[in-house]
Amino acid sequence: MKLIIGLGNPGTQYERTRHNVGFRVMDTLAAKYDLRWERRNRALLATGTIGIEKVVLVKPITFMNNSGEAASELVHWYKVQPEEILVVYDDLDLPVSQIRLRPKGSAGGHNGLSSIIHHLHTDQFPRLRVGIGRPTNRHMDTVGYVLSPATGDEGILLATAESNAVDAIPLILQQGIGAAMNILNADPEALRKAEEKRRFQQERKEQARLRKQEEQAMLQKNTDNTTDTDTIRA
């Protein structure tokens, strides 16, 4: 089982802000796989499967700077190891539209990630960074920047990055951190191709399952017809 934690702030006033990238990725992922949200203590959870992997999507509602409080409760509740966690969050040091996967590391100045590291007593867990860039307006401070929405072309680029993050998560679950890093961190186009390949493989499996189902139904029908004929003859 994997615990996938998207970071953000609760409340409608924060929904479209740059800092809520993690929440938006979780919402899109839950909708894509038809997972429903429910509240448990200090987090919203959506439980289900992605591919063959059981997952719990998490949106802490403790506000960003206390994300670790909710995360640590869930880590202990589900008894998951650090390597079974994936944290999705916004990153100022990554250009808008880019995503990066890391297996471990420091918080890099991100308060939400810093809180998780503090409460888990380790930084040895994977994280998926979604770039929001730094403010180009020198009069805007960092807090004001992350707590405001991206608009215009920047908004389009950020929405693309969030979509890429959503596509990246099934890839990470299927191929593992190491293999996924080679794809995600090298070329965004490679992610698109890998996602297409994954979907194609899923479609082939589904087609094979349906063919097998049809063959079994036909075999059963032939068996029933033979039985009926034998009964008439008797």
pLDDT digits (tens, 9 = 90+) for 120-150: 999 999 999 999 999 988 888 999 999 999 9
Cα–Cα dist 210/30, whole Å: 26
CA distances from 23 to 1, 29, 176, 207, 233 (A): 20, 10, 23, 34, 68
Mean pLDDT over residues 104-119, rounded? 96
Number of domains in the chain: 2
Q: What is the pLDDT of residues 162-188, one digit of tens each?
A: 999 999 999 999 999 999 999 999 765
Confidence of residue 216 (pLDDT cuts 50, 70, 90): confident
Give the pLDDT score at 166.
97
Domain co-membership, 118 together with 181: yes
Say whether both 68 and 156 belong to one domain: yes
Q: What type of residue is 184?
A: L
The pLDDT value recorded for residue 222 is 77
Domain check: are 156 and 199 in the same one?
no
Residues forming the active site: 19
pLDDT in tens, 13-57: 999 999 999 999 999 999 999 999 999 999 999 999 999 999 999
Task: Tell me the residue range of the domain where 214 lies.
Answer: 187-234
Distance CA 115, CA 5 (A): 13
* C-beta atoms surrounding 144 within 10 Å: 11
Do 214 and 126 fall into the same domain? no
Average pLDDT over residues 216-230: 73
The CATH number of residue 123's host domain is 3.40.50.1470
Q: Which two tokens stand for residue 78?
A: 């589900």
Q: Which of 89 and 191 is assigned the larger pLDDT?
A: 89
What is the dihedral sign for C-alpha 136, 139, 145, 148?
negative
3 state SS of 91: strand
Same domain, 77 and 25: yes
pTM > 0.75: yes or no: yes
